[in-house]
Structure 1
Amino acid sequence: MAEPLSTERELPEPLLSVRDLTVTFPTKRGPVRAVDSLAFDVLPGRTLGIVGESGSGKSVTSMAVMGLHTSAEVTGSVTLGGRELVGLPERELNTLRGRKMAMIFQDPLSSLHPYYTVGEQIAEHHRVHFGSSRAVARERAVEALGEVGIPEPRRRAGEYPHQFSGGMRQRVMIAMALSCEPDLLIADEPTTALDVTVQAQILDLIARIQQERGLAVVMITHDLGVVARVAHDVLVMYGGRAAEQAPVDGLFAAPAHPYTRGLLDSLPRLDDDDDAPLRAIPGSPPSLLDPAPGCAFAPRCARAAAGTEEERARCATERPRLDGPAGHPAACHFPSFPASLPAPASPASPAHEGAAS
């Protein structure tokens, strides 16, 4: 089983601990293992960025943590504050969702009910978990909208989702997610449909609230720029498995897995010519219906292609283990580990403060 990220620096106990998480969907063509033997920790006050191409298993992982898979087989262990969530009855999970763990989804317009005002929806969320009166819940909804920077929160609490811009709707979702003061926030591509300026505002908002409340945050994204801005630790996923885990500084300074290096190389650079094409990773993500026996990335891997015949055979037939230096393991037979690794970011000093925006 893959071991989670660890460092020599003494850190608090993990709030969220995932071990050997496997999620399998039944299909007409056979079972699809969308997440395979995943392990990671998330500490209070820290942000774990989960990054990878579409289909890598990022959102499936977050849904499994929240206990939202109704048709999939979920095995392994997911503990929140020491309490096991896998196999927990739906009634007990409902008491934890929103109160102890909350999630922000990709599309706020489809997540908000069009027939109810945003204030009513946030107030209902508060009443369910605290049993508060309608008046108290309404006041808490107004407070929550004000906390996330929505102007004139009392007036806007009486408006409907379609009356808000995309960025403001996402702020409403954040207000709803945080209104009951959960310990864990999962943000699944929260800035995908937003322009760059609004995206920065939303990321800064989440970071500010995290610092104020000591939240543990899981940020799911395909955008390495977002990871650089907000994450302390990074989990790179490929084909449903962990490809690499590292502190954010270590990952950007010295990526060990060829897939991670390919993701970083595909980013546009300021020193490139204006007409220079983006560097894409050749090929397509693997089929999870018929997984390869060896490394899932081998068919797209430049390192494997340039290796000896013996090395190519090993990549094609032997699945690599997630292994390497403490705090920076990679699932590769021939990783590029440097002689020394950068120190991890401190929980008191969020990575985004020193990252380029």
Structure 2
Amino acid sequence: MATPEPLLSVRELSVTFPTPRGPVRAVDSLSFDVHRGRTLGIVGESGSGKSVTSMAVLGLHTGAEVTGSITLDGQELVGLPERALNRVRGRRIAMIFQDPLSSLHPYYTVGEQIAEHHRVHFDSRRAQAHRRAVEMLAEVGIPEPARRAGEYPHQFSGGMRQRAMIAMALACEPELLIADEPTTALDVTVQAQILELLARLQQERGLAVVMITHDLGVVARVAHEVLVMYGGRAAEQAPVDDLFATPAHPYTRGLLDSLPRLDDDDDAPLRAIPGSPPSLLDPTPGCAFAPRCPRAASASAEVRLRCSNERPLLGGPSGHPVACHLPAYEGVTS
């Protein structure tokens, strides 16, 4: 049976910002696909390019040079005029931002903000848009939605504000939802409720989801595929079960080892990856992770030189490519 075409296809995406100290390439030659009804988890340390990638998909970078290809159901988005992009943003692609309190306007009620979103894309009347706002608040599990629609963001708890953001994002029934750290500021109980809500809505609507997070627990729970980013590049990509069972890149292995374990002693220190993320102002010609890589450090001088001077390309077994000269499993070539 033929593989279905991806809803979102990103090919050789690069995003470069001009700065007084020189250009910064925050995303470098990134490629991935997202299919309908599936979730792609994008993980990595702060500064790895996760949020920059999501903003590029929506065409939200001003002053940056964006190259490569981003297609939504065959429609090229890179270079699309602003007027045409405005018809895509919020309507076909929606985004949940990290901090709902700063994303919601403090001077307008939650219901007004959701209704305005619907009116912009459907040219609906105020009463119709308000009814839609109340419906969406009810759908995301907010009690007494008609009353809460008339309240302001500061009157909502953190979890309820996040639910309101989800209601706003889904009010226009988008095909693709980008969730940028949607559970970062929430306690674990509310976090679980939000993830269950997103999973239910995805199943009911056939949504394609890009989940951007540094929390590998969230990825293990919701993602079907995982893309690991480091220094603006793809380090490894695999189905979620394969990635957790057989991580091939030493950076992925380090991320997994840094998680606390139930069988650790209570006073056992967390295992950190030594060193710091790479400078994007002066990128290394070789593997960006080489200065922090335990495998490179214990390799021969010839291999260390290769890691420092030759950029590894994403390759390897079908379905589990890795960008590494020293992958952890046999049969992988860079």
What's the TM-score once normalised by structure 1's chain length?
0.92
Please state whether the residue corresponding to 1:49 is helix, strand or coil.
strand
Letter in 2 for 1:295: C
Q: CA deviation at 1:264?
A: 0.3
- Counterpart for residue 257 of structure 1: 249
Task: State how far apart, in whole Å, the 2-side matches of 1:191 and 1:256 are.
Answer: 27
CA spacing shift, 1:268–1:30, aligned 2, 3 Å: same
Q: Deviations over 1:12-61 (max 9, x none)?
A: 21000000000000000000000000000000000000000000000000
- Counterpart for residue 192 of structure 1: 184
Task: Report the identity percentage.
Answer: 83
- Counterpart for residue 80 of structure 1: 72
Letter in 2 for 1:165: S
2:161 equivalent among 163, 166, 169:
169
- Counterpart for residue 237 of structure 2: 245
Please state whether the residue corresponding to 2:273 is helix, strand or coil.
coil
Task: State how far apart, in whole Å, the 2-side matches of 1:258 and 1:139 are.
Answer: 51
- Counterpart for residue 346 of structure 1: none
Task: State how far apart, in whole Å, the 2-side matches of 1:338 and 1:154 are.
Answer: 59
2:29 equivalent among 33, 37, 53:
37
Matched, 1:152 2:144: yes
Q: Which shows bigger deviation, 10-19 or 308-317?
A: 10-19
- Counterpart for residue 133 of structure 2: 141
Where do residues 284-303 of structure 1 align in structure 2 (5 Å cutoff)?
284-303=276-295
Task: State how far apart, in whole Å, the 1-side matches of 2:330 and 2:136 are.
Answer: 46
Q: Please, what is the CA RMSD of the aligned residues? A: 1.1
Q: Deviations over 1:296-350 (max 9, x none)?
A: 000000000000011111101100000100010000011112579xxxxxxxxxx
Paired residues in the alignment total 332
Task: State how far apart, in whole Å, the 1-side matches of 2:132 and 2:145 are.
Answer: 11
Task: State how far apart, in whole Å, the 2-side matches of 1:202 and 1:339 are.
Answer: 39
Matched, 1:127 2:119: yes
Q: CA deviation at 1:71?
A: 1.5
Please state whether the residue corresponding to 2:320 is helix, strand or coil.
coil
Task: State how far apart, in whole Å, the 1-side matches of 2:35 and 2:4 are.
Answer: 7
Task: State how far apart, in whole Å, the 1-side matches of 2:153 and 2:43 are.
Answer: 29
Matched, 1:222 2:214: yes
Please state whether the residue corresponding to 1:331 is helix, strand or coil.
coil
Please state whether the residue corresponding to 2:209 is helix, strand or coil.
strand
CA contact (8 A) 2:317 2:331 kept: no
Gap regions ≥5 residues in structure 2: none
- Counterpart for residue 14 of structure 1: 6
- Counterpart for residue 5 of structure 1: none
Please state whether the residue corresponding to 2:195 is helix, strand or coil.
helix
Please state whether the residue corresponding to 1:324 is helix, strand or coil.
coil
Letter in 2 for 1:168: M
CA contact (8 A) 2:316 2:331 kept: no
Task: State how far apart, in whole Å, the 2-side matches of 1:275 and 1:338 are.
Answer: 36
1:66 equivalent among 49, 58, 61:
58
